[in-house]
């Protein structure tokens, strides 16, 4: 951490001719179970990870924000009085969007010079955008002198992404980044916006396997899946008007009504209902290291994502094949929204190095691509850091 701070301080001095005064951070996240359940107001088992986004900043008195990202090697300057979307430097829209929703909520904002650095891989399904949003929201609070609770902050982040950036995401990413806790996974109820902390057995190591095939939710099939789920809800409401989301649908009602649905809609709804149940079924075996149950739950999630929700990709198929035969593996599945990006495994901690070497070699043989494999720890949520 100190080396990272020293490195960013030197870069800040070069760019802004002074030292940073404030530091914020927010983590990425990996979902252990619950693909596409968040916008269906269901459940997700999520974990903030020790890959995070930092902002080093110095307050300004002129209502302007000057930004530079070391990862993107680009920067921007804009006024808080003129928060137009920037098509040419799209990463800044997450910062602009947070500013816009905070202003709309009635908060007075102060500008700052900010240097952004992230260890969360981009477009990999680990919520790099939410990490930037939550680090930005945390910084604006410190610079401007107001306070949000973590749920408020997550909701503002989701609003910024939906209404300003233009991605119709659920609450999962921002909530995970805001509410994570070291050493714990988080069982999130996406309708109530409440969560329970769930232990993860010390005999399990979470390992992320990046296929190195990027995906972008803008212009992808993400919105199509959401619309198909909404179509299913509309059909199910003809039998029970009280149904507000797929979260409310019992299996017996779905089985009675499924033949009235278009085939694709039926498949999407079936996956969400089953995935929600898998989230609830995961807590006990995750804490107790019940390998057989973990393997079965993870495998069912992956099959459903591939065959029912159809969010797979050839590289994901190759990666799950490589993971499932590697030494020390307990369970493996997709992470994030699918269509490429990352996969996640639970691994025997003593076998992580052998697991990583095996997956890397097998994936290279199958695809010709170099995977990136890294073990992650559960992390605390967004916060200011002491210098």
The 8-class DSSP code of residue 121 comes to P
* 383 φ/ψ angles, rounded to the nearest 5 degrees: -165, 165
The catalytic residue among 31, 38, 52, 173 is 173
According to DSSP H, which parts of 238-377 are helical? 251-257, 263-288, 291-307, 314-324, 352-367
d(CA 53, CA 118): 4
Q: Rg (Cα) of the chain, in Å, rounded?
A: 21
- Type and span of the H or E element at 163: none
Q: Which of 117, 116, 110 is nearest to 79 (CA)?
A: 110
**C-alpha neighbours within 13 Å on the C-beta side of residue 62:** 7
- Would residue 248 show up in a list of annotated catalytic residues for this protein? no
Catalytic residues: 173
């Amino acid at each position: 951490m100190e080396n990272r701070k020293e490195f960013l301080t030197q870069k800040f001095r070069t760019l802004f001719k002074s030292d940073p005064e404030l530091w914020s951070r927010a983590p990425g996240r990996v979902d252990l179970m619950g693909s596409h359940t968040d916008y269906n107001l269901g459940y997700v088992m999520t974990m903030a990870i020790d890959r995070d986004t930092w902002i080093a900043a110095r307050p300004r008195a002129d209502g302007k924000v000057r930004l530079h990202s070391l990862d993107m090697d680009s920067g921007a300057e804009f006024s808080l009085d003129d928060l137009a979307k920037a098509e040419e430097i799209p990463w800044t829209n997450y910062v602009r969007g947070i500013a816009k929703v905070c202003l709309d909520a009635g908060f007075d904002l102060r500008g700052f010079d900010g240097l952004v650095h992230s260890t969360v891989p981009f477009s990999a399904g680990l919520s790099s955008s939410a990490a930037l949003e939550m680090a930005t929201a945390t910084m604006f609070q410190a610079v401007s002198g107001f306070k949000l609770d973590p749920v408020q902050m997550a909701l503002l982040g989701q609003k910024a992404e939906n209404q300003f950036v233009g991605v119709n995401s659920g609450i999962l990413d921002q909530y995970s980044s805001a509410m994570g806790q070291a050493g714990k996974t988080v069982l999130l109820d996406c309708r109530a916006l409440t969560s329970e902390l769930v232990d993860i057995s010390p005999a399990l190591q979470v390992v992320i396997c990046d296929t190195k095939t990027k995906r972008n939710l803008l212009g992808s099939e993400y919105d199509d899946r959401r619309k198909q789920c909404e179509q299913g809800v509309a059909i199910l409401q003809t039998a029970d008007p009280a149904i507000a989301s797929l979260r409310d649908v019992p299996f017996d009602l779905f089985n009675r009504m499924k033949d009235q649905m278009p085939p694709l809609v039926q498949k999407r709804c079936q996956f969400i209902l089953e995935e929600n149940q898998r989230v609830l079924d995961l807590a006990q075996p995750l804490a107790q290291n019940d390998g057989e149950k973990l393997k079965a739950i993870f495998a069912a999630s992956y099959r459903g994502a591939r065959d029912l929700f159809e969010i797979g990709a050839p590289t994901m198929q190759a990666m799950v094949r490589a993971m499932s035969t590697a030494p020390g593996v307990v369970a493996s599945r997709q992470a994030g929204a699918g269509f490429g990006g990352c996969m996640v495994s639970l691994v025997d901690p003593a076998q992580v190095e052998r697991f990583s070497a095996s997956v890397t070699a097998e994936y290279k043989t199958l695809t010709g691509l170099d995977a990136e494999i890294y073990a992650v720890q559960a992390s605390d949520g967004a916060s200011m850091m002491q210098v």
